[in-house]
Homo-oligomer: A and B are copies of this chain.
Amino acid sequence: MTSETTDLFPADDFQAHLDEAAAAASVLRTARSARKDAALRAIADALNADSETILAANRADLDRGKDTLSEALQDRLRLTPERISALAAALRRTADLTDPVGEVVRGHQMPNGVSLQQIRVPFGVVAVIYEARPNVTVDLAALCIKSGNAVVLRGGSAARITNDCLVATIRRALEQTGLPAGAVVTVDKFGRAGAHALMRARGSVDVLIPRGGAGLIRSVVEESRVPVIETGAGNVHIYLDASADVEKAVRIAVNAKTQRPSVCNAAETLLVHADAAARVLPAVAEALRGAGVRLHADQRAAALIGECVPATDSDWETEYLSLDMAVRVVDSIDDAMAHIAKYSTHHTETIITEDLGSADRFLAEVDSAVVMVNASTRFSDGGEFGFGAEVGISTQKLHARGPMGLQELTSTKWLVRGNGQTRGE
């Protein structure tokens, strides 16, 4: 918040929004699963019922943005009848998941007979700062309600009219099922100053999740005084070991790079052991080029793969999110792991190998959230992991690491039951 805006910021109104969420959180904390699930299904019905209003709001946002937003951003912003149905279906699937709240994580009895149980509880108030993607509004509302949290949403301004409409629909459905509307609060109307105020809202916000590009995430991580879960960029590596099977290498490299190049678990750099380069790299490079990939190769790789552009040091640290891939020949698994340690964002890496020792070393020594053997990095995903719903992929080590499901939206508390025991008896 700059000093010019401080005086104008309606702090009382903003705090009232956070207080509404806090009051709702205290109801949601002890709400039964059946009630939360009924609310999610009611929201699904309401989205379908309000479909025309929502689409009209979305058209207004698209009109506002048609000269300023790129095609890709317009596509992320756009809702269609099919996309609204898909959001409703996702809500129903979330309702079908197991409620993480109340799970007993561990427990035992103290020697004096006092019973200890650590159970999962909601965080309370979760805040999310994200870009102009209306589907995130609905997904995050669903995940937070299911896990017993109230959510405070701050979406990208390009989606403001759509988000206002979606949140109104969600709040009406909540009230109809007897849960407080404050379970889902938007602070979009406060603009950028509202996002900054969220980062300062210690005591009112229990956890803040930034979802979006690297710039957004970095600014939240650096400015926030509220605990943050960092969902992160993926500079993802494939390492073809000396013993790599050619057919697996080709299949996994093509899938990891090209199945959906714009997402964080898509591979960005291919490292190849020198002893495998001549045997494996030409076929892999040909398959990648055949799938439309432009290869950025170091000199040793370039000598083996034909058409490519020369790689510079900046290629090693680039998350392309496009049909580009860096290729480098390394002399050993140690060199491969040193390259990964230096350039990776510690999201996901995979080794292609037939050698047990190499597999074991890679799994043990690579310090990333998800480390794979002979599998596509595209599996690094909450849906693929069976979590049923995707909060994001954490690249930090505190609290959650890797794909985050409902469980990662909970904290724990200790229940201690005695019958008069005191310490030091």
Q: Which of A178-186, A273-281, A325-333, A365-373 makes up part of the contact surface?
A: A365-373
A134 proximal to B (CB < 8 A):
no
Taking a contact as CB atoms under 8 Å apart, the answer to whether B399 and A399 are in contact is: yes
Q: Which of B26, B251, B370, B411 is in CB contact (< 8 Å) with A401? A: B411
Q: How far is the CB of A245 from chain B (nearest CB, A)?
A: 7
A222 proximal to B (CB < 8 A):
yes
A133 proximal to B (CB < 8 A):
no
Q: Which of A51-59, A308-316, A413-421 makes up part of the contact surface?
A: A413-421
Number of copies: 2
Which residues of A (401-425) have their CB < 8 Å from a CB of B?
A: 401-403, 411-424
Q: Which of B206, B248, B370, B398 is in CB contact (< 8 Å) with A414? A: B370
Write out the residue numbers on chain B whose beta carbons fall within 8 Å of the beta carbon of A376.
418, 421-423
How many of chain A's residues have a CB under 8 angstroms from any CB in B?
A: 72
Write out the residue numbers on chain B whose beta carbons fall within 8 Å of the beta carbon of A385.
110, 116, 414
Taking a contact as CB atoms under 8 Å apart, the answer to whether B423 and A29 are in contact is: no
Known: A29-B365, A229-B398, A367-B29. A248 touches B379 (CB 8 A): no
Interface string of A280-324 (1 = CB under 8 A from B): 000000000000000000000000000000000000000000000
Write out the residue numbers on chain B whose beta carbons fall within 8 Å of the beta carbon of A245.
420
A81 proximal to B (CB < 8 A):
no
Taking a contact as CB atoms under 8 Å apart, the answer to whether B401 and A398 are in contact is: no
Interface string of A65-91 (1 = CB under 8 A from B): 000000000000000000000000000
Q: Which of B110, B252, B373, B420 is in CB contact (< 8 Å) with A379? A: B110
Which residues of A (350-376) have their CB < 8 Å from a CB of B?
A: 350, 359, 363-365, 367-376
Which residues of A (375-389) have their CB < 8 Å from a CB of B?
A: 375-376, 378-380, 384-386
Which residues of A (182-222) have their CB < 8 Å from a CB of B?
A: 202, 206-207, 221-222
Taking a contact as CB atoms under 8 Å apart, the answer to whether B413 and A375 are in contact is: no
A259 proximal to B (CB < 8 A):
yes
Known: A116-B385, A421-B376, A422-B376. A415 touches B371 (CB 8 A): yes
Assembled-state Cα–Cα distance A373/B108 (Å) = 16
Interface of A is mostly: mixed
Taking a contact as CB atoms under 8 Å apart, the answer to whether B398 and A207 are in contact is: yes
Known: A123-B397, A369-B414, A411-B401. A423 touches B379 (CB 8 A): yes
Q: Which of B26, B108, B114, B413 is in CB contact (< 8 Å) with A402? A: B413
Write out the residue numbers on chain B whose beta carbons fall within 8 Å of the beta carbon of A262.
none
Taking a contact as CB atoms under 8 Å apart, the answer to whether B423 and A259 are in contact is: yes
Q: What are 23 A-B contacts with C-beta separation under 8 Å?
A: A29-B367, A110-B379, A116-B385, A118-B402, A206-B398, A227-B398, A247-B420, A251-B420, A252-B420, A256-B422, A350-B416, A370-B413, A371-B413, A371-B414, A371-B415, A373-B417, A374-B421, A376-B418, A378-B422, A378-B423, A379-B418, A401-B411, A403-B414
